[in-house]
Structure 1
Protein backbone atom coordinates (compact mmCIF):
# COMPACT_ATOMS: atom_id res chain seq x y z
CA UNK A 1 0.00 0.00 0.00
CA UNK A 2 1.17 3.51 -0.84
CA UNK A 3 2.68 5.15 2.24
CA UNK A 4 0.80 8.37 1.44
CA UNK A 5 -2.45 6.64 2.43
CA UNK A 6 -3.32 6.35 6.12
CA UNK A 7 -4.89 2.97 6.89
CA UNK A 8 -7.28 2.89 9.84
CA UNK A 9 -6.19 0.67 12.70
CA UNK A 10 -8.04 -1.35 15.32
CA UNK A 11 -8.57 1.59 17.65
CA UNK A 12 -10.76 3.32 15.06
CA UNK A 13 -13.25 0.43 15.05
CA UNK A 14 -13.38 0.00 18.83
CA UNK A 15 -16.54 2.04 19.26
CA UNK A 16 -20.21 1.30 19.88
CA UNK A 17 -22.24 0.55 16.75
CA UNK A 18 -23.88 3.98 16.72
CA UNK A 19 -20.60 5.84 17.23
CA UNK A 20 -18.82 3.78 14.59
CA UNK A 21 -21.66 4.36 12.15
CA UNK A 22 -21.17 8.12 12.51
CA UNK A 23 -17.37 7.90 12.52
CA UNK A 24 -17.33 5.98 9.25
CA UNK A 25 -18.91 8.90 7.40
CA UNK A 26 -16.17 10.46 5.30
CA UNK A 27 -13.70 7.57 5.59
CA UNK A 28 -12.40 5.78 2.49
CA UNK A 29 -13.14 2.13 1.68
CA UNK A 30 -10.42 0.61 -0.51
CA UNK A 31 -10.57 -2.60 -2.54
CA UNK A 32 -7.39 -3.82 -4.25
CA UNK A 33 -8.32 -5.72 -7.41
CA UNK A 34 -5.51 -7.11 -9.59
CA UNK A 35 -3.21 -4.44 -8.22
CA UNK A 36 -5.69 -1.63 -8.97
CA UNK A 37 -7.17 0.54 -6.23
CA UNK A 38 -10.95 0.87 -6.25
CA UNK A 39 -11.98 3.35 -3.59
CA UNK A 40 -14.97 5.29 -2.38
CA UNK A 41 -15.77 7.76 0.36
CA UNK A 42 -18.40 6.44 2.77
CA UNK A 43 -21.44 8.75 2.65
CA UNK A 44 -24.18 6.61 4.23
CA UNK A 45 -24.25 4.01 7.02
CA UNK A 46 -26.65 2.21 9.35
CA UNK A 47 -25.92 0.87 12.82
CA UNK A 48 -27.28 -2.51 13.99
CA UNK A 49 -27.05 -2.99 17.73
CA UNK A 50 -26.91 -6.72 18.23
CA UNK A 51 -28.89 -8.68 20.79
CA UNK A 52 -31.30 -5.84 21.64
CA UNK A 53 -31.96 -4.67 18.07
CA UNK A 54 -34.95 -6.38 16.44
CA UNK A 55 -33.68 -5.38 12.99
CA UNK A 56 -30.23 -6.97 13.46
CA UNK A 57 -29.36 -10.37 12.01
CA UNK A 58 -27.81 -11.12 15.40
CA UNK A 59 -30.93 -10.29 17.43
CA UNK A 60 -31.59 -13.94 18.28
CA UNK A 61 -27.94 -14.76 18.86
CA UNK A 62 -24.91 -15.97 16.97
CA UNK A 63 -25.45 -18.10 13.86
CA UNK A 64 -23.17 -19.27 11.08
CA UNK A 65 -24.52 -16.50 8.87
CA UNK A 66 -23.83 -13.60 11.25
CA UNK A 67 -20.72 -14.94 13.02
CA UNK A 68 -18.68 -11.94 11.84
CA UNK A 69 -20.90 -9.64 13.92
CA UNK A 70 -19.47 -11.27 17.06
CA UNK A 71 -15.84 -10.99 16.02
CA UNK A 72 -13.28 -8.30 16.79
CA UNK A 73 -14.26 -4.74 15.83
CA UNK A 74 -13.17 -4.08 12.26
CA UNK A 75 -14.27 -7.45 10.87
CA UNK A 76 -16.14 -7.51 7.56
CA UNK A 77 -19.59 -9.08 7.63
CA UNK A 78 -20.66 -9.78 4.05
CA UNK A 79 -23.95 -11.58 3.50
CA UNK A 80 -26.08 -12.61 0.54
CA UNK A 81 -29.53 -11.23 -0.23
CA UNK A 82 -32.02 -12.40 -2.86
CA UNK A 83 -29.56 -15.15 -3.76
CA UNK A 84 -27.43 -13.02 -6.08
CA UNK A 85 -26.52 -9.78 -4.29
CA UNK A 86 -24.36 -8.97 -1.25
CA UNK A 87 -24.20 -6.32 1.46
CA UNK A 88 -21.18 -5.37 3.55
CA UNK A 89 -21.05 -4.50 7.25
CA UNK A 90 -18.23 -3.78 9.67
CA UNK A 91 -18.33 -5.14 13.22
CA UNK A 92 -18.12 -2.74 16.15
CA UNK A 93 -17.92 -3.09 19.90
CA UNK A 94 -20.72 -5.09 21.49
CA UNK A 95 -21.96 -8.63 20.90
CA UNK A 96 -23.55 -8.88 17.48
CA UNK A 97 -23.14 -5.19 16.67
CA UNK A 98 -22.14 -3.97 13.21
CA UNK A 99 -22.50 -1.11 10.74
CA UNK A 100 -23.97 -1.54 7.26
CA UNK A 101 -22.27 0.44 4.49
CA UNK A 102 -25.14 1.84 2.42
CA UNK A 103 -23.43 4.17 -0.05
CA UNK A 104 -20.05 5.34 -1.31
CA UNK A 105 -18.90 8.31 -3.35
CA UNK A 106 -16.43 6.75 -5.85
CA UNK A 107 -13.02 8.42 -5.87
CA UNK A 108 -10.61 5.93 -7.51
CA UNK A 109 -10.93 3.21 -10.14
CA UNK A 110 -14.27 4.43 -11.42
CA UNK A 111 -14.02 2.73 -14.82
CA UNK A 112 -13.09 -0.56 -13.18
CA UNK A 113 -16.05 -0.20 -10.82
CA UNK A 114 -18.34 0.28 -13.81
CA UNK A 115 -17.10 -2.95 -15.39
CA UNK A 116 -17.92 -4.88 -12.21
CA UNK A 117 -21.26 -3.13 -11.81
CA UNK A 118 -22.35 -3.65 -15.42
CA UNK A 119 -20.64 -6.75 -16.89
CA UNK A 120 -22.13 -5.92 -20.28
CA UNK A 121 -20.37 -2.82 -21.68
CA UNK A 122 -22.12 0.42 -20.76
CA UNK A 123 -20.24 3.31 -22.42
CA UNK A 124 -22.42 5.91 -20.76
CA UNK A 125 -23.21 5.72 -17.06
CA UNK A 126 -23.77 8.02 -14.13
CA UNK A 127 -21.06 7.77 -11.49
CA UNK A 128 -23.71 8.32 -8.81
CA UNK A 129 -25.35 5.02 -9.84
CA UNK A 130 -22.26 2.94 -9.04
CA UNK A 131 -22.42 2.76 -5.25
CA UNK A 132 -25.67 4.44 -4.15
CA UNK A 133 -26.98 1.38 -2.34
CA UNK A 134 -25.54 -1.45 -0.22
CA UNK A 135 -25.75 -4.09 -2.97
CA UNK A 136 -24.56 -1.71 -5.67
CA UNK A 137 -21.39 -0.85 -3.78
CA UNK A 138 -20.62 -4.55 -3.32
CA UNK A 139 -21.11 -5.14 -7.03
CA UNK A 140 -18.93 -2.17 -7.99
CA UNK A 141 -16.07 -3.23 -5.70
CA UNK A 142 -16.53 -6.96 -6.42
CA UNK A 143 -17.19 -7.78 -2.78
CA UNK A 144 -18.72 -11.18 -2.03
CA UNK A 145 -19.44 -13.34 0.98
CA UNK A 146 -17.07 -16.01 -0.36
CA UNK A 147 -14.19 -13.56 -0.76
CA UNK A 148 -14.50 -11.25 2.24
CA UNK A 149 -16.89 -12.40 4.97
CA UNK A 150 -15.10 -12.47 8.37
CA UNK A 151 -11.97 -10.83 6.95
CA UNK A 152 -10.14 -8.44 9.26
CA UNK A 153 -10.09 -4.95 7.70
CA UNK A 154 -7.13 -4.02 9.89
CA UNK A 155 -4.83 -6.58 8.26
CA UNK A 156 -6.46 -7.75 5.02
CA UNK A 157 -4.33 -7.22 1.92
CA UNK A 158 -7.22 -6.58 -0.47
CA UNK A 159 -9.81 -4.68 1.56
CA UNK A 160 -9.29 -1.94 4.13
CA UNK A 161 -10.28 1.56 5.27
CA UNK A 162 -8.28 4.75 5.07
CA UNK A 163 -8.64 8.07 6.83
CA UNK A 164 -10.78 10.51 4.88
CA UNK A 165 -11.82 14.09 5.43
CA UNK A 166 -13.73 15.34 8.45
CA UNK A 167 -17.48 15.72 7.90
CA UNK A 168 -18.95 18.15 10.47
CA UNK A 169 -22.13 17.32 12.35
CA UNK A 170 -23.86 20.15 10.49
CA UNK A 171 -23.48 18.11 7.30
CA UNK A 172 -24.60 14.72 8.65
CA UNK A 173 -28.25 13.69 8.74
CA UNK A 174 -29.22 11.23 11.49
CA UNK A 175 -32.48 9.43 10.83
CA UNK A 176 -34.27 6.07 10.83
CA UNK A 177 -33.00 3.08 8.88
CA UNK A 178 -34.36 1.89 5.54
CA UNK A 179 -36.74 -1.02 4.86
CA UNK A 180 -36.98 -2.43 8.39
CA UNK A 181 -40.66 -1.75 9.02
CA UNK A 182 -41.20 -5.13 10.68
CA UNK A 183 -38.70 -4.38 13.44
CA UNK A 184 -41.42 -2.82 15.64
CA UNK A 185 -40.09 0.02 17.83
CA UNK A 186 -36.65 -0.39 16.29
CA UNK A 187 -37.99 0.72 12.91
CA UNK A 188 -37.92 4.35 14.00
CA UNK A 189 -34.61 4.42 15.86
CA UNK A 190 -32.32 7.13 14.38
CA UNK A 191 -29.45 4.79 13.49
CA UNK A 192 -28.80 5.85 9.90
CA UNK A 193 -26.28 8.55 9.02
CA UNK A 194 -25.67 10.23 5.69
CA UNK A 195 -24.03 13.29 4.19
CA UNK A 196 -26.49 16.12 3.64
CA UNK A 197 -27.12 17.02 -0.03
CA UNK A 198 -24.74 14.31 -1.27
CA UNK A 199 -25.92 12.91 -4.61
CA UNK A 200 -24.41 9.48 -3.91
CA UNK A 201 -26.69 8.71 -0.94
CA UNK A 202 -29.17 5.89 -1.57
CA UNK A 203 -32.27 7.32 0.12
CA UNK A 204 -32.81 10.85 1.41
CA UNK A 205 -35.08 11.66 4.34
CA UNK A 206 -36.35 15.09 3.31
CA UNK A 207 -38.35 15.59 6.50
CA UNK A 208 -35.28 14.92 8.66
CA UNK A 209 -33.29 17.30 6.46
CA UNK A 210 -35.89 20.07 6.88
CA UNK A 211 -35.91 19.62 10.65
CA UNK A 212 -32.15 19.65 10.75
CA UNK A 213 -31.82 22.77 8.64
CA UNK A 214 -34.65 24.43 10.56
CA UNK A 215 -32.75 23.85 13.79
CA UNK A 216 -29.77 25.66 12.31
CA UNK A 217 -27.38 22.73 12.56
Structure 2
Protein backbone atom coordinates (compact mmCIF):
# COMPACT_ATOMS: atom_id res chain seq x y z
CA UNK A 1 0.00 0.00 0.00
CA UNK A 2 1.39 3.43 -0.91
CA UNK A 3 1.31 6.60 1.13
CA UNK A 4 -0.70 9.55 -0.13
CA UNK A 5 -0.78 13.20 1.02
CA UNK A 6 -3.98 13.29 3.06
CA UNK A 7 -4.61 16.14 5.46
CA UNK A 8 -7.16 16.95 8.12
CA UNK A 9 -8.46 20.49 8.24
CA UNK A 10 -5.64 21.66 5.98
CA UNK A 11 -2.99 20.07 8.22
CA UNK A 12 -1.06 16.84 7.68
CA UNK A 13 -2.53 14.10 9.85
CA UNK A 14 -0.51 13.07 12.90
CA UNK A 15 -0.17 9.50 14.11
CA UNK A 16 -2.89 8.26 16.39
CA UNK A 17 -5.16 11.28 16.14
CA UNK A 18 -8.83 10.88 15.43
CA UNK A 19 -11.14 13.11 13.43
CA UNK A 20 -14.85 13.07 12.76
CA UNK A 21 -15.25 15.83 10.17
CA UNK A 22 -13.09 17.15 7.37
CA UNK A 23 -13.52 20.60 5.86
CA UNK A 24 -11.79 22.12 2.86
CA UNK A 25 -11.04 25.26 4.81
CA UNK A 26 -11.03 24.90 8.63
CA UNK A 27 -11.26 28.64 9.32
CA UNK A 28 -14.43 28.90 7.23
CA UNK A 29 -16.85 26.33 8.66
CA UNK A 30 -19.65 27.57 6.41
CA UNK A 31 -17.91 26.08 3.38
CA UNK A 32 -19.24 22.73 2.12
CA UNK A 33 -18.41 19.65 4.14
CA UNK A 34 -16.10 17.44 2.10
CA UNK A 35 -16.30 14.19 4.04
CA UNK A 36 -17.16 12.52 7.32
CA UNK A 37 -15.04 9.69 8.68
CA UNK A 38 -14.11 7.99 11.93
CA UNK A 39 -10.33 8.08 11.84
CA UNK A 40 -7.36 9.07 9.72
CA UNK A 41 -4.29 7.14 8.67
CA UNK A 42 -1.12 8.06 10.47
CA UNK A 43 1.61 9.94 8.62
CA UNK A 44 0.00 9.45 5.23
CA UNK A 45 2.04 11.05 2.50
CA UNK A 46 4.08 10.16 -0.55
CA UNK A 47 7.42 10.59 1.18
CA UNK A 48 7.28 8.14 4.07
CA UNK A 49 7.70 4.87 2.19
CA UNK A 50 9.07 3.69 -1.11
CA UNK A 51 6.36 2.55 -3.48
CA UNK A 52 6.41 2.19 -7.25
CA UNK A 53 4.30 4.44 -9.39
CA UNK A 54 2.05 1.66 -10.70
CA UNK A 55 0.88 0.91 -7.16
CA UNK A 56 0.31 4.61 -6.52
CA UNK A 57 -1.80 4.80 -9.69
CA UNK A 58 -4.09 2.12 -8.26
CA UNK A 59 -4.03 3.46 -4.72
CA UNK A 60 -5.31 6.84 -5.87
CA UNK A 61 -8.52 5.00 -6.79
CA UNK A 62 -9.02 3.40 -3.41
CA UNK A 63 -6.10 1.27 -2.30
CA UNK A 64 -5.64 3.40 0.79
CA UNK A 65 -8.41 1.91 1.01
CA UNK A 66 -10.40 5.10 0.78
CA UNK A 67 -11.11 6.62 -2.58
CA UNK A 68 -9.17 9.85 -3.11
CA UNK A 69 -10.67 13.28 -3.71
CA UNK A 70 -8.81 16.19 -5.28
CA UNK A 71 -9.76 19.44 -3.53
CA UNK A 72 -9.13 22.91 -5.00
CA UNK A 73 -9.66 26.13 -3.08
CA UNK A 74 -10.15 29.08 -5.44
CA UNK A 75 -9.09 32.71 -5.03
CA UNK A 76 -12.55 33.73 -3.80
CA UNK A 77 -12.43 30.98 -1.12
CA UNK A 78 -14.99 28.86 -2.95
CA UNK A 79 -14.19 25.15 -3.21
CA UNK A 80 -14.40 22.62 -6.03
CA UNK A 81 -13.58 18.96 -5.61
CA UNK A 82 -13.75 15.70 -7.49
CA UNK A 83 -13.25 12.03 -6.69
CA UNK A 84 -10.37 10.57 -8.70
CA UNK A 85 -11.77 7.77 -10.86
CA UNK A 86 -9.09 7.23 -13.52
CA UNK A 87 -5.28 7.38 -13.56
CA UNK A 88 -2.29 6.40 -15.66
CA UNK A 89 1.14 5.46 -14.31
CA UNK A 90 4.41 6.56 -15.95
CA UNK A 91 7.47 4.99 -14.39
CA UNK A 92 10.11 7.42 -15.60
CA UNK A 93 13.58 6.54 -16.87
CA UNK A 94 12.78 3.22 -18.57
CA UNK A 95 9.27 4.10 -19.73
CA UNK A 96 9.31 5.22 -23.37
CA UNK A 97 5.92 6.84 -22.94
CA UNK A 98 7.12 9.02 -20.07
CA UNK A 99 8.27 12.64 -20.39
CA UNK A 100 11.28 11.62 -18.31
CA UNK A 101 12.30 8.62 -20.46
CA UNK A 102 16.05 8.13 -20.44
CA UNK A 103 16.27 10.18 -17.24
CA UNK A 104 15.79 13.30 -19.34
CA UNK A 105 15.38 16.36 -17.16
CA UNK A 106 13.99 19.56 -18.66
CA UNK A 107 12.43 22.78 -17.40
CA UNK A 108 9.05 21.35 -18.39
CA UNK A 109 9.28 18.06 -16.50
CA UNK A 110 11.28 19.23 -13.47
CA UNK A 111 8.42 18.35 -11.11
CA UNK A 112 8.74 14.67 -12.04
CA UNK A 113 12.14 14.62 -10.32
CA UNK A 114 10.99 16.44 -7.21
CA UNK A 115 9.89 14.73 -4.01
CA UNK A 116 6.92 12.35 -4.25
CA UNK A 117 3.64 14.20 -3.91
CA UNK A 118 4.65 17.13 -6.12
CA UNK A 119 2.17 18.40 -8.71
CA UNK A 120 3.36 18.20 -12.31
CA UNK A 121 1.22 20.26 -14.68
CA UNK A 122 2.03 20.59 -18.37
CA UNK A 123 0.36 22.06 -21.44
CA UNK A 124 -0.75 20.09 -24.51
CA UNK A 125 -1.82 21.45 -27.90
CA UNK A 126 -0.66 24.85 -26.70
CA UNK A 127 -3.79 25.46 -24.62
CA UNK A 128 -4.88 22.51 -22.44
CA UNK A 129 -3.40 21.37 -19.13
CA UNK A 130 -2.77 17.92 -17.64
CA UNK A 131 -2.34 17.23 -13.93
CA UNK A 132 0.12 14.64 -12.60
CA UNK A 133 1.48 13.68 -9.19
CA UNK A 134 5.12 12.67 -8.79
CA UNK A 135 5.82 9.34 -7.14
CA UNK A 136 8.70 7.29 -5.80
CA UNK A 137 11.23 6.58 -8.55
CA UNK A 138 13.40 8.67 -10.85
CA UNK A 139 11.05 10.79 -12.95
CA UNK A 140 7.95 8.74 -12.06
CA UNK A 141 4.47 10.30 -11.97
CA UNK A 142 0.78 9.46 -12.13
CA UNK A 143 -1.47 11.25 -14.62
CA UNK A 144 -4.93 12.03 -13.22
CA UNK A 145 -7.24 11.21 -16.14
CA UNK A 146 -10.73 11.73 -14.71
CA UNK A 147 -12.61 12.89 -11.64
CA UNK A 148 -16.23 12.57 -10.58
CA UNK A 149 -17.43 16.07 -9.56
CA UNK A 150 -18.41 16.43 -5.91
CA UNK A 151 -18.31 19.97 -4.55
CA UNK A 152 -18.90 23.14 -6.59
CA UNK A 153 -20.52 21.57 -9.66
CA UNK A 154 -22.01 24.88 -10.84
CA UNK A 155 -18.60 26.53 -10.59
CA UNK A 156 -17.07 23.65 -12.57
CA UNK A 157 -19.61 24.22 -15.35
CA UNK A 158 -18.60 27.86 -15.56
CA UNK A 159 -14.92 26.96 -15.78
CA UNK A 160 -15.51 24.19 -18.30
CA UNK A 161 -17.71 26.48 -20.37
CA UNK A 162 -15.14 29.19 -20.98
CA UNK A 163 -14.32 27.83 -24.43
CA UNK A 164 -17.84 26.64 -25.23
CA UNK A 165 -20.64 28.51 -26.93
CA UNK A 166 -23.16 27.34 -24.33
CA UNK A 167 -20.91 28.49 -21.43
CA UNK A 168 -21.15 24.98 -20.01
CA UNK A 169 -24.92 25.05 -19.51
CA UNK A 170 -25.48 21.89 -21.58
CA UNK A 171 -22.74 19.88 -19.89
CA UNK A 172 -23.82 16.92 -17.78
CA UNK A 173 -22.14 16.47 -14.42
CA UNK A 174 -20.28 13.38 -15.59
CA UNK A 175 -18.83 15.38 -18.51
CA UNK A 176 -17.15 17.97 -16.33
CA UNK A 177 -14.08 15.92 -15.43
CA UNK A 178 -14.10 12.94 -17.80
CA UNK A 179 -10.68 13.59 -19.30
CA UNK A 180 -7.29 14.94 -18.16
CA UNK A 181 -7.71 18.41 -19.64
CA UNK A 182 -11.40 18.64 -18.76
CA UNK A 183 -10.71 18.01 -15.07
CA UNK A 184 -8.01 20.68 -15.11
CA UNK A 185 -10.53 23.17 -16.45
CA UNK A 186 -13.16 22.08 -13.92
CA UNK A 187 -10.79 22.24 -10.94
CA UNK A 188 -8.99 25.34 -12.18
CA UNK A 189 -5.63 23.57 -12.40
CA UNK A 190 -3.04 25.27 -14.58
CA UNK A 191 0.70 25.37 -14.95
CA UNK A 192 1.12 28.88 -13.59
CA UNK A 193 -0.55 28.23 -10.24
CA UNK A 194 -0.30 24.50 -9.48
CA UNK A 195 2.86 23.14 -11.15
CA UNK A 196 5.56 22.05 -8.67
CA UNK A 197 3.33 22.58 -5.64
CA UNK A 198 3.76 20.13 -2.76
CA UNK A 199 0.35 18.48 -2.29
CA UNK A 200 1.14 17.68 1.35
CA UNK A 201 1.47 21.34 2.30
CA UNK A 202 -0.17 23.43 -0.44
CA UNK A 203 -3.01 25.60 0.96
CA UNK A 204 -5.08 25.65 -2.23
CA UNK A 205 -4.89 22.12 -3.66
CA UNK A 206 -4.63 18.82 -1.82
CA UNK A 207 -5.98 15.26 -1.63
CA UNK A 208 -8.44 13.77 0.83
CA UNK A 209 -9.73 10.22 1.43
CA UNK A 210 -13.33 9.54 0.52
CA UNK A 211 -15.34 6.36 0.05
CA UNK A 212 -14.01 2.81 0.09
CA UNK A 213 -13.47 1.13 -3.29
CA UNK A 214 -13.11 -2.63 -3.72
CA UNK A 215 -10.03 -3.83 -5.54
CA UNK A 216 -12.32 -5.87 -7.79
CA UNK A 217 -13.93 -2.61 -8.97
CA UNK A 218 -10.64 -1.22 -10.28
CA UNK A 219 -10.11 -1.98 -13.97
CA UNK A 220 -6.57 -2.42 -15.31
CA UNK A 221 -6.28 -1.24 -18.91
CA UNK A 222 -3.76 0.13 -21.40
CA UNK A 223 -2.73 3.77 -21.43
CA UNK A 224 -4.26 6.20 -23.92
CA UNK A 225 -2.58 7.90 -26.90
CA UNK A 226 0.94 6.49 -26.57
CA UNK A 227 1.12 4.17 -29.59
CA UNK A 228 4.15 6.07 -30.88
CA UNK A 229 6.11 4.79 -27.88
CA UNK A 230 6.10 1.27 -29.31
CA UNK A 231 3.97 -1.82 -28.79
CA UNK A 232 5.69 -2.91 -25.57
CA UNK A 233 4.88 0.31 -23.76
CA UNK A 234 1.55 0.94 -25.41
CA UNK A 235 0.30 -2.38 -24.08
CA UNK A 236 1.35 -1.91 -20.47
CA UNK A 237 -1.79 -2.25 -18.30
CA UNK A 238 -0.98 0.91 -16.39
CA UNK A 239 -4.25 2.78 -16.76
CA UNK A 240 -6.67 2.28 -13.89
CA UNK A 241 -10.28 3.30 -13.50
CA UNK A 242 -13.33 2.61 -11.36
CA UNK A 243 -15.68 0.18 -13.05
CA UNK A 244 -19.12 1.57 -13.77
CA UNK A 245 -18.25 5.17 -12.97
CA UNK A 246 -19.80 7.52 -15.54
CA UNK A 247 -17.00 10.09 -15.28
CA UNK A 248 -14.35 7.71 -16.66
CA UNK A 249 -12.97 9.04 -19.95
CA UNK A 250 -12.69 5.78 -21.93
CA UNK A 251 -13.96 2.35 -20.92
CA UNK A 252 -12.19 -0.91 -21.77
CA UNK A 253 -15.09 -3.35 -22.16
CA UNK A 254 -12.76 -6.29 -22.80
CA UNK A 255 -10.89 -5.69 -19.55
CA UNK A 256 -14.19 -5.28 -17.70
CA UNK A 257 -15.40 -8.64 -18.97
CA UNK A 258 -12.17 -10.24 -17.81
CA UNK A 259 -12.77 -9.00 -14.27
CA UNK A 260 -16.27 -10.50 -14.35
CA UNK A 261 -14.74 -13.94 -14.94
CA UNK A 262 -12.64 -13.74 -11.81
TM over 0.5: yes
Within-5 A mapping of 1:45-56: 45-56=87-98
Cα separation, 1, equivalents of 2:78 and 2:43: 24
Is 2:258 aligned against 1:199? no
**Does the 8 Å CA contact 2:160/2:168 hold for their aligned counterparts?**
no
Which protein has greater RCO, CA pairs closer than 8 Å, 6+ apart? Answer: 1
Quote the offset at 1:116 in angstroms. 0.6
**Unaligned 5+ runs, structure 1:** none
**Does the 8 Å CA contact 1:10/1:154 hold for their aligned counterparts?**
no
Cα separation, 1, equivalents of 2:223 and 2:43: 26
Spell out, residue by residue over 1:36-86, the C-alpha distance to the aligned partner (whole angstroms, 9 max, x if none): 110000000000000010000000311111110011110000000000000
Aligned to 1:43: 85
**Unaligned 5+ runs, structure 2:** 1-8, 11-18, 25-40, 62-66
Detail structure 1 runs of 4+ shifted over 4 Å in the superposition: 6-10
Instruction: State which structure, 1 or 2, has the greater radius of gyration over its C-alpha atoms.
Output: 2
With the length of structure 1 as denominator, give the TM-score of the two structures: 0.94
Spell out, residue by residue over 1:105-147, the C-alpha distance to the aligned partner (whole angstroms, 9 max, x if none): 0010000011111026343320011000000000111111111
What count of residue pairs does the alignment treat as equivalent?
215
Task: Select 1:143's aligned residue among 175, 181, 189.
Answer: 189
Within-5 A mapping of 1:107-186: 107-119=150-162, 121-184=167-230, 185-186=232-233
Cα separation, 1, equivalents of 2:79 and 2:52: 29
Cα separation, 1, equivalents of 2:169 and 2:160: 12
